[in-house]
Amino acid sequence: MRRPVVVANWKMNMTLARAEEFVHRFAGEDVEAGGVDMVICPPFIALAPLSTLLQNTSLMLGAQNMHWEKEGAFTGEISPLMLREIGVRYVIVGHSERRSYFAETDESVGQKAAAAFACGLIPIVCLGENGEERRAGKTEEVIRRQLLAAIELLELEEDRRRLIVAYEPVWAIGTGIPARASDAAAVAACIRALLYQKWGNGAAEVRILYGGSVTPENIADFTGRPGIDGALVGNSSLKPGSFAAMARAVYKERRG
Ligand code: 13P
């Protein structure tokens, strides 16, 4: 049974003071802890202070990016070991904003996914076609290329089982226009089929998320589809009430 997970990607938003305020206010929200994994991914500088604040809470910590080497002459970069040391458990890799604004390649995404596992982190690998690719009917082709490169270096059975893949169509990110849940489910099914082809039964445990204009109102449309195990959320994750409402909606949908 795959545990649902709701992941907050704060991107380059929230000062440290606001991030801390989020955690304090979230503590006052009525969320059924236990049924749904909840992960927040703040900017790097907030990770260490939040790690302390999140002890004994139901929120887990994720980073938005990392380098694939453990250390070295890579000015401005953060390594997976550094993240692990301060209590980070998840890391987003290959977000479309990193691919398009910071020239991340399919290959570097694969290196990062493997490096994350090697240092005890769980990668949340992002895949997704842009609007032009979608109009040209290339969604499956793009997903296949990105996915195969992202998982190429994952050799351990236990890593494969813990992988999280997020399908985030670029045209749905930050636009207020999400994908249709049926379309997202079709792509999730395609991702799982590819994983089965590569890995056999190990693919059954991989969690597949949808991301792109997810809100408290629409999240259950996605997680209510077989094969979609949660959501990766930008804008709607910035407010504690909204993030809690999404976790509640997923919990309720799962309990029927
Ligand atoms: P929005 O939820 O703001 O569309 O962002 C989605 C996203 O990019 C999450 O990684």
- Domain containing residue 44: CATH number: 3.20.20.70
Tell me whether residue 253 is one of the annotated catalytic residues.
no
What pTM does this model have? 0.98
Q: Which domain holds residue 61?
A: 5-255
DSSP string, 18-30: HHHHHHHHHHTS-
Q: Is 173's C-beta closer than 6 angstroms to any atom of ligand 1?
A: yes
Q: Is 242's C-beta closer than 6 angstroms to any atom of ligand 1?
A: no
- Residue 61, classed as helix, strand or coil, is strand
Torsion over CA: 30, 31, 33, 39 (sign):
negative
User: pLDDT > 90: what percent of the chain?
Assistant: 95
Q: How far from 75 is each of 32, 46, 203, CA to CA, in Å?
A: 42, 19, 37
Q: Is pLDDT above 80 for 256?
A: no
Q: Is pLDDT above 80 for 28?
A: yes
- Phi and psi based region of residue 214 (left: phi greater than 0; alpha: psi -120 to 50; beta: remaining): beta
For all residues of the chain together, what is the average pLDDT? Answer: 97
Segment 56-115, tens digit of pLDDT: 999 999 999 999 999 999 999 999 999 999 999 999 999 999 999 999 999 999 999 999
The Å distance, Cα 168 to ligand 1 centre, comes to: 8
Segment 145-179, tens digit of pLDDT: 999 999 999 999 999 999 999 999 999 999 999 99
Nearest atom, ligand 1, residue 172 CA:
4
Q: Is pLDDT above 80 for 34?
A: no
The Å distance, Cα 170 to ligand 1 centre, comes to: 9
**Domains: count for the chain:** 1
DSSP classification of residue 76: T
